[in-house]
Amino acid sequence: MANITEATTAYSNALNQLKKAANPEDGGESSGAAFGDLLKQSLQTAVETQHKSEKVSGAALAGKADMTDVLQAVTDAEVALNTVLAVRDKVVQAYEQVMRTPM
Looking at the domain assignment, is residue 24 inside a domain?
Answer: no
Looking at the domain assignment, is residue 101 inside a domain?
Answer: yes
Task: List, in sequence order, the alpha helices (H) in 1-103.
Answer: 2-22, 31-61, 67-100
Looking at the domain assignment, is residue 87 inside a domain?
Answer: yes
Radius of gyration over alpha carbons of the chain, in Å? 18
pTM assigned to the model: 0.62
Looking at the domain assignment, is residue 54 inside a domain?
Answer: yes
Looking at the domain assignment, is residue 10 inside a domain?
Answer: no
CA 13 distance to own-chain centroid = 11
CA 81 distance to own-chain centroid = 8
Per-residue pLDDT of the chain (103 residues; tens, 9 = 90+): 455 666 666 666 666 766 665 665 544 455 556 777 878 888 888 899 999 999 999 999 999 989 999 999 999 999 989 988 898 899 899 999 999 998 7
Looking at the domain assignment, is residue 12 inside a domain?
Answer: no
Does residue 5 sit in helix, strand or coil? Answer: helix
User: What is the count of structural domains for the chain?
Assistant: 1
- Structural domain harbouring 94: 30-103
Looking at the domain assignment, is residue 8 inside a domain?
Answer: no
Looking at the domain assignment, is residue 5 inside a domain?
Answer: no
